[in-house]
Amino acid sequence: MRTVYWESEQLHMIDQRLLPETLTIVSYRTHAEVAQAITGMVVRGAPAIGAAAAFGLALAGYESRAHTTPDLLTDYQAAAASLKAARPTAVNLAWAVDRLTKEAASNAHLPADALRAHILQAAQLLADEDVKINQRMAAHGASLIDDGDTIIHHCNTGALATVDWGTALGVIRTAWEQGKKIHVLVDETRPRLQGARLTAWELQQYGIPYDIISDNMSGHFMRTGQVQKVLFGADRITANGDVANKIGTYMLALAASDNDLPAYSVAPTSTVDLALAHGSLIPIEERSSQEVLDIQLAGERVTPRGAQARNPAFDVTPHRLITAIVTENGVAYPPYTISLPKLVNHKA
């Protein structure tokens, strides 16, 4: 089952807020509903968000009452702005929407109904490409995994974070299917616990052995020699190799560096933003403080009533802490200002 798919004139997605207890498919008919689903984290993970937004733009075309192509293009542009604002940090969202709006503009000669169908086909093509890209990326990354490795994995980067297969967790899955005996330490990834809820659930489906650890245990396991690799995804990678990813990645990479352990970021080239020179230029989404304050322990509220909290959803890991960046076109090593453009511009 794909995380994001089109069927019966609707966009269908796994509601990731309900996992691991309940596997529920939700359906959407408007681009505004899709934008809200992205903001509300019904769907999450940079590639999955991009595919959802692409289908959201296709929905906008069918919502539009425009009879002429110029009017339809105007409605596409308005929907694109709404979708791109849903989550600002993940570059795949803007990349996917921009790809489809350019496709619409370049086919402005088509009648309005033909253009609607063409944009839906373009969204489906983008989703299908994502699966193939992930499998190529996983093959490159699996070559970096050794038999017997214990790997710390951050957040969720599996099939749930993509259309299917996954980025960093896709690497782990491929290495396992190659017969490598590996073990995964799944950090909880607070405050939304994507590791404990989603990655652990996926690993159970694959039969890959794992242990859940709290985020602040990672340094201990690295210092005591119980870890060989650190893997995480990326929501945006700048031209110099700085990586914006789920909050906590920076501290994980720091601990890996201090213990001479490789830290690999795994992401498609669509996540690489060569227009941004360095990570300080990346907008960091700050989410509701309630995600931090509403956490419960044994059914009881953890924080005092009236407490305040900060909740940046991402942090930036400097390129000096990244051993390599795995993409569908190969593995980039420092200096990233040279290696990343080659992979981004490479035609498979």
- Would you state the pLDDT for residue 347? 59
Strands (E), the chain: 4-7, 10-14, 25-28, 150-153, 183-187, 210-213, 229-232, 236-238, 243-246, 263-266, 272-273, 296-297, 300-301, 314-317, 324-327, 330-332
Residue where the block lists tokens 């089952």: 1
pLDDT at 230 over 90: yes
CA 102, CA 108: separation in Å to the nearest integer? 10
With the CA atoms of 44, 47, 51 and 53 taken in that order, what torsion angle do they form, in degrees rounded to the nearest 10?
60
CB-based contacts of 299-305 (< 8 A; 24+ apart in sequence):
none
- Token pair, residue 293, equals 């304050």
Domains of the chain (ranges; CATH) run 4-135 (1.20.120.420), 141-344 (3.40.50.10470)
Task: Report pLDDT digits (tens) over 194-216.
Answer: 999 999 999 999 999 999 999 99
* Average pLDDT rounded to a whole number, residues 29-33: 96
Backbone angles phi, psi at 211, to 5 degrees: -130, 140
CB-facing half-sphere around the CA of 218: CA atoms within 13 A: 30
The answer to whether the CB of 28 falls within 8 A of the CB of 22 is: no
Q: Using 50, 70 and 90 to split pLDDT, how confident is the model at 185?
A: very high
CA 127, CA 6: separation in Å to the nearest integer? 10
Q: Using 50, 70 and 90 to split pLDDT, how confident is the model at 92?
A: confident
- Would you state the pLDDT for residue 45? 85
pLDDT at 312 over 90: yes
CA 297, CA 292: separation in Å to the nearest integer? 13
- Would you state the pLDDT for residue 257? 98
* Average pLDDT rounded to a whole number, residues 100-127: 96
Task: Report pLDDT digits (tens) over 150-179.
Answer: 999 999 999 999 999 999 999 999 999 999
CB-facing half-sphere around the CA of 116: CA atoms within 13 A: 17
DSSP 35-97: HHHHHTTSS-SHHHHHHHHHHHHHHHHHH----SHHHHHHHHHHHHHHHHTS-SS-HHHHHHH
Residue 317's closest CA among 260, 236, 261? 236
Catalytic positions are 235
Q: What is residue 119's three-state secondary structure?
A: helix
